[in-house]
């Protein structure tokens, strides 16, 4: 059990803290949410009245919950391709730099260390606060325009703030993933393609993107999951204006308001929503893994 030279014990020593934290803060809450989803749990985590699938039926019949799923789709349609293109473009630019690669990698990766809550508050009060002295409105006034109410006023301009803060926060992380993928592509491949006359778009289409297929699948999966878990920017930037605008209430915000806000504290319905979201994420991950495995070439059998 100790393994050769106690390697198994060292493995457990390094893995145990992470596994314990994962179990306490992820697996146990998911299991408890599954338990609460079958009970009438209002203002208590120890319910006694079993209601079966009533909480699930309530959510599927709830128009606001269905609309929150549409918010996720709309948010993903914007943020996933935009982050993919920006992170891949930055990765390719930095990979071709002869000097200062480490500096620029650090500059673009630093936003990952910033809390989503802090970034959302900075975006709200500094850049898109709607006041005439806000940074964006000050720039618009310098060009002769009128101040814009970014987060209210019955318009859809709040999407500019939501997309920009999420893009700033996460593009550096996915840039690092693409850089790791680009470093795995042999230089000889580009040299051979260049000799054959390939350049620009043809080099990107037939060399870079196919070689980055594994990294691209991982990035797209993480982007969809993170988009589905959007909460901080919506809650901290739009929750302050009194009521959420149309398409400004994603699933996690809606479930949070049901479970902890508005005096409802309906943990049973909140638990049911958690299980629905978890199931959707798992199914999406399995579907993407299946698509990746299907697209890989299988080795041909050679007859003796």
List, in order of start, the domains of the chain with CATH numbers. 52-292 (1.10.3720.10)
pLDDT at 304: 43
Q: Give the CA angle between residues 63, 66, 72 to the nearest 5°.
A: 140
Tokens representing residue 207 in the block? 């060399």
pLDDT at 302: 44
**pTM of the predicted model as reported, rounded to 2 decimal places:** 0.83
- On whether the CB atoms of residues 258 and 272 are closer than 8 A, the answer is no
Tokens representing residue 39 in the block? 């009970």
Tokens representing residue 79 in the block? 């943020």
- On whether the CB atoms of residues 55 and 38 are closer than 8 A, the answer is yes
pLDDT at 61: 93
Closest CA to 94 of 83, 79, 106: 106
| Average pLDDT per 10 consecutive residues for the chain, totaling 304 residues | 74 91 91 92 84 92 90 91 94 85 88 90 84 80 83 79 92 92 85 77 83 88 89 85 74 88 81 91 82 57 47
- On whether the CB atoms of residues 174 and 227 are closer than 8 A, the answer is no
């Amino acid at each position: 059990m100790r393994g050769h030279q106690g390697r198994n014990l060292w493995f457990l020593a390094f893995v145990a803290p992470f596994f314990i934290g994962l179990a306490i803060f992820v697996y146990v809450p998911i299991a408890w949410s599954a338990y609460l989803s079958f009970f009438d749990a209002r203002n208590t985590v120890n319910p006694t009245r079993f209601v079966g699938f009533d909480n699930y039926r309530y959510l599927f019949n709830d128009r606001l919950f269905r609309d929150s799923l549409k918010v996720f789709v709309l948010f993903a349609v914007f943020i996933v391709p935009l982050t993919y293109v920006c992170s891949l473009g930055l990765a390719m630019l930095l990979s071709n730099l002869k000097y200062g690669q480490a500096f620029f990698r650090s500059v673009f990766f630093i936003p990952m260390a910033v809390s989503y809550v802090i970034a959302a508050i900075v975006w709200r009060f500094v850049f898109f606060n709607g006041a005439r002295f806000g940074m964006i409105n000050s720039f618009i006034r310098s060009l002769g325009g009128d101040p814009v109410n970014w987060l209210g006023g019955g318009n859809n301009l709040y999407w500019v703030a939501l997309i920009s803060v999420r893009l700033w926060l996460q593009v550096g992380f996915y840039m690092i993933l693409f850089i790791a993928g680009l470093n795995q592509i042999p230089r000889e491949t580009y040299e051979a393609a260049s000799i054959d006359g390939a350049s620009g778009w043809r080099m990107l289409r037939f060399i870079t993107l196919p070689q980055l297929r594994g990294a691209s699948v991982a990035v797209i999966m993480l982007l969809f999951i993170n988009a589905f878990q959007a909460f901080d920017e919506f809650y901290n930037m739009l929750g302050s204006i009194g009521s959420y605008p149309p398409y400004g209430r994603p699933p996690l915000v809606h479930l949070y308001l049901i479970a902890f806000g508005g005096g409802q504290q309906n943990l049973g319905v909140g638990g049911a929503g958690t299980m629905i979201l978890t199931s959707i994420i798992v199914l999406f991950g399995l579907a993407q893994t299946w698509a990746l495995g299907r697209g890989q070439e299988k080795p041909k059998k050679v007859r003796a």
